[in-house]
Structure 1
Amino acid sequence: MVDIATRVYNHRWKMDPIVRSLIDTDFYKLLMCQSVLRNKPDTQVRFSLINRTSAVRLADLVDEGELREQLDHIRKLSLSRGESTWMRGNTFYGKRQMFTPEFMDWFEALRLPPYHLERRDGQYELTFEGSWPEVMLWEIPALAVLMELRARAVLGRMKKFELQVLYARAMTKLWEKVERLRPLQGLRIADFGTRRRHSFLWQDWCVQAMHEGLGDRFVGTSNCLIAKNRDLEAIGTNAHELPMVYAALADSDEDLARAPYKVLADWHEEHDGNLRIILPDTFGTSGFLERAPDWLAGWTGIRIDSGKPEDGAETAIRWWQSRGEDPRTKMVIFSDGLDVDRIIDLHARFSGRVRTSFGWGTLLTNDFRGLTPEDALAPFSLVCKAVAANGRPTVKLSDNPRKAMGPAGEIARYRRVFGVGEQAEIDVLV
């Protein structure tokens, strides 16, 4: 097992790449990339970094030269032979050749496109522009780099034994969480923590701890590199990015209203089984389900990623019942801001009513709360989103208005088109 504290201590002596592989990314990114390459290869997009926790002044913490060095290193990466073999030959979700030869040929030749970086008012403005299939693959490594550089900036002020004690306390904290989850019968939980992890080494340690502590109740990790290296299932389906860009490309309100279902129709042609998971909250869950075509009711499940998770699950159950489906055969995946107390409560409430599953993110792979003076390593909400497609702004409404994004006029239009009424605001921790 890697001595994390010693490795962290040695970071101060030389450039230590944070992202060392193009598959150090979330599995859903690669699945979506294949779909985009097939259906929308010429779409031009812009992704931008968005720090929703403005009190964390990244540009004051993270050295610009070091950030550029890390981003430049990522642009030199290409798929290794072993990584390509894993993607071409492995079985994912029971399906061989999940990734087509056409996609793999493209991916093997890929180098990530240029970036644009500026400092402004204590924050970094980091943007990526170009063809959608290429630019979208910047999101996860860019976030991972910034989160880890922020951690390194804090850890760099600590001495070697301080670091040893810090990581001992963090390991104990996580293991206590694992012990609290052990008694839950029928638990299904996966690591969703790549984008806002403390570091790659720490995420890898967390995954190993979960695997040992929970056995087959730990169903896998969203991180492809860790899944490959640890012989675990790679977990993931699709994300808000797809409906956001499809909607931005719509030429009329009528096309806009159809866009979220067009996304899933394209997905339906490529995937089956547990990959048919609906993410309904991009433009409001209730309206999405009310207008959904009947064929979507036959999909495997729904992922709840904003709003009050219990409300989202109850809405899903009522919808399945109204469409003649048995909710007990369906899966609800909870994935928004989870920690142990919430996981235990949701598992108890919905077990036996639906098949519950949990995608545990930032508070699995980056919970150093209370372990440093002034909570200098507390996690914060950093995202990298598609903000434009073919020159048009993208919009996300969410079930929590604090997660909404886009120009005010477009947000108002989307709320009208999708029939979104009053929404309760919920604090965004991560």
Structure 2
Amino acid sequence: MNEFAIVSSLLDNDFYKFTMQNAIIKLFPLAKAKYEFINRGKHSFPKNFSDLLKENLQEMASLKLSNDERKFLEKNCPYLDSTYLDFLNTYQYNPKEVFISQNGKDIHMSIEGLWSSTILWEVPLMATISELYYQLTGKKCISDNKIILLTKEKLEKYKKLNVKIGEYGTRRRYSYKVQKLVLNFLKEKGNSVFIGSSNVHLSRIFSKKPIGTHGHEWVMFHAAKYGFNIADQIAMENWLNIYGKNLRIALSDTYTTSVFLKNFDKKLANLFEGVRHDSGNPILFTNEIIKHYKKLKINPLKKKIIFSDNLNPNKVATISSFCKKKINPFFGIGTNFTNDVGLPSMNMVIKMVKTLPKTKKKKWISVVKLSNVKEKSTGDKNLISLAKKILRI
């Protein structure tokens, strides 16, 4: 690996990318996808940034699943069957799927290919962009000791709140080194509060089960294939068909929570252990979810909400206080753990923009995410308007 190589393991990625990849291979093996990089923070990239990014892609092409990594997955994720693990044994990143160009200080990037292949690019690419950006702009972070001290202060607050927290910060980390440093501390001192990380590679290093289920692109694809109105429902049913009694957390905001709840009937609400909140007011959301469970005559105290929207100790304190004796909250902390280093964190995403559900039909279908807040919506503006009209939002 060269001196600028940032991703050194095939498993240095979020767990839900692998769980979705497994489901795609089983259900939609011929589907194709297009992704685009969105520079929400209008960051200015230094000269030759794209060249170094391409070098990292070439380094990633040599990554392979090791025997020890396979054994870790077999032991900790038994629902990832041998057929999938055989596929992962042969999988390699293909840099030809990624198109990168630089115009002055702007970076343009898109990804295109089989969905089962391209799905793994998003998280390690964002982690690479983030770390390279700080390296090349000379933005130095606070010392390791200060990072540990900050992490300790946060952890003490979470312990006092008696909440369950996980680490979700791979994609916008300051660096691999910082994420590893924070995770090491959380593992050593987290006791019963810290439940694990979404990063599979670091979960293996620290002997923890990786956490996560599925992302927005899973539902976005279903909307392109089956229509906006029933996307949530079929996405959930397909997930259950693959994973049964495992990984049963439903994502609630791809086309707003109100639309999700229309699809979240008594059968699905009973089968899924809970839902994930990723946009909008968490208190209003919690109220909506509790009200929905009660309407279906389901006890909310037997269900979970995984909160994962830009969290910090103050937000967690407010949410956990509200949830007390009403529903069981869990918290996925991202950037506040892995990029709270005395510098502004990057605001960027890589999102699916088009899909080709059937290869016989050569017409690509645009996809959109509506979210509960306008800022988090992605996709073509005209299609967003059409989706809102169809869904009566």
TM-score normalised to structure 1 length? 0.85
Is 1:98 the equivalent of 2:82? no
Aligned to 2:198: 222
What CA distance in whole angstroms lies between the structure 1 residues aligned with 2:161 and 2:79? 32
Q: Is the 8 A contact 2:187 2:206 kept in 1?
A: no
Match of 1:137 among 120, 134, 157: 120
Which portions of structure 1, spanning 4 or more consecutive aligned residues, are displaced by more than 6 angstroms?
none
Which AA in structure 2 matches 1:331? K
Going from structure 1 to structure 2, the CA distance change for 1:121 and 1:257 (only over 3 Å counts) comes to farther
Is 1:63 the equivalent of 2:28? no
Is 1:194 the equivalent of 2:170? yes
Match of 1:109 among 90, 95, 114: 90
Which AA in structure 2 matches 1:334? F
Match of 2:145 among 143, 165, 168: 168
Is 1:324 the equivalent of 2:297? yes
Q: CA deviation at 1:91?
A: 2.7
Secondary structure, aligned partner of 1:338: coil
What CA distance in whole angstroms lies between the structure 1 residues aligned with 2:238 and 2:89? 24
Q: Is the 8 A contact 1:331 1:355 kept in 2?
A: yes
Aligned to 1:177: 154
Which AA in structure 2 matches 1:126? M
Q: Is the 8 A contact 2:37 2:110 kept in 1?
A: yes
Cα shift readout 1:166-195 (whole Å, capped 9, x = no counterpart): 33333322222122222122x111001111
Structure 2: segments with no counterpart, 5+ residues: 357-363
Is 1:379 the equivalent of 2:345? yes
What CA distance in whole angstroms lies between the structure 2 residues aligned with 1:351 and 1:274? 26
Aligned to 1:15: 3
Match of 1:32 among 20, 24, 36: 20
Q: CA deviation at 1:330?
A: 0.4
Structure 1: segments with no counterpart, 5+ residues: 1-10, 372-376, 421-430
Cα shift readout 1:141-172 (whole Å, capped 9, x = no counterpart): 10010011112124x476xxxx7x63333332
Q: CA deviation at 1:107?
A: 1.2
Q: Is the 8 A contact 1:61 1:150 kept in 2?
A: no
Q: Is the 8 A contact 1:395 1:406 kept in 2?
A: yes
Aligned to 2:306: 333
Secondary structure, aligned partner of 1:124: strand
Going from structure 1 to structure 2, the CA distance change for 1:266 and 1:170 (only over 3 Å counts) comes to same
Matches within 5 A, 1:140-155: 140-154=123-137
Q: Is the 8 A contact 1:118 1:125 kept in 2?
A: yes
Aligned to 2:232: 260
Secondary structure, aligned partner of 1:386: strand
Q: Please report the RMSD computed on the Cα atoms of aligned residues, expressed in angstroms.
A: 1.8
Is 1:279 the equivalent of 2:256? no
- Report which stretch shifted further, 321-330 or 404-413: 404-413
Going from structure 1 to structure 2, the CA distance change for 1:179 and 1:268 (only over 3 Å counts) comes to same
What CA distance in whole angstroms lies between the structure 2 residues aligned with 1:415 and 1:107? 38
What CA distance in whole angstroms lies between the structure 2 residues aligned with 1:62 and 1:286? 45
Cα shift readout 1:83-125 (whole Å, capped 9, x = no counterpart): 11222x2133xxxx22111111111111122211111352211
Aligned to 1:424: none
Match of 2:386 among 393, 406, 413: 413
Matched positions, count: 383
Q: CA deviation at 1:275?
A: 1.2
Q: CA deviation at 1:281?
A: 0.5
Q: Is the 8 A contact 2:232 2:263 kept in 1?
A: no
Aligned to 1:77: 63
- Report which stretch shifted further, 62-71 or 191-200: 62-71
Match of 1:314 among 262, 287, 301: 287
Q: CA deviation at 1:39?
A: 0.7
What CA distance in whole angstroms lies between the structure 2 residues aligned with 1:188 and 1:274? 19
What CA distance in whole angstroms lies between the structure 2 residues aligned with 1:418 and 1:349? 30
Aligned to 1:428: none
Cα shift readout 1:65-86 (whole Å, capped 9, x = no counterpart): 2211111111221111111122
What CA distance in whole angstroms lies between the structure 2 residues aligned with 1:143 and 1:21? 15
Secondary structure, aligned partner of 1:249: helix
Q: Is the 8 A contact 1:62 1:150 kept in 2?
A: no
Q: CA deviation at 1:61?
A: 6.5
- Report which stretch shifted further, 209-218 or 132-141: 209-218
What CA distance in whole angstroms lies between the structure 2 residues aligned with 1:352 and 1:235? 25
Q: Is the 8 A contact 2:158 2:193 kept in 1?
A: no
Q: CA deviation at 1:64?
A: 2.4
What CA distance in whole angstroms lies between the structure 2 residues aligned with 1:392 and 1:131? 14
Secondary structure, aligned partner of 2:143: helix
Is 1:353 the equivalent of 2:326? yes
What CA distance in whole angstroms lies between the structure 1 residues aligned with 2:128 and 2:319? 32
Which AA in structure 2 matches 1:98? Y
- The sequence identity of aligned pairs, in percent, is 27
Q: Is the 8 A contact 1:53 1:382 kept in 2?
A: yes
Cα shift readout 1:361-390 (whole Å, capped 9, x = no counterpart): 11111012xx3xxxxx31122111111101
What CA distance in whole angstroms lies between the structure 2 residues aligned with 1:196 and 1:133? 23
Secondary structure, aligned partner of 1:216: coil
Q: CA deviation at 1:290?
A: 2.5
Which AA in structure 1 matches 2:318? D
Q: Is the 8 A contact 1:202 1:365 kept in 2?
A: yes
TM-score normalised to structure 2 length? 0.93
Q: Is the 8 A contact 2:274 2:304 kept in 1?
A: yes
What CA distance in whole angstroms lies between the structure 2 residues aligned with 1:110 and 1:39? 18
Cα shift readout 1:238-265 (whole Å, capped 9, x = no counterpart): 1101011121233xxxx33112211111
- Report which stretch shifted further, 267-276 or 410-419: 267-276
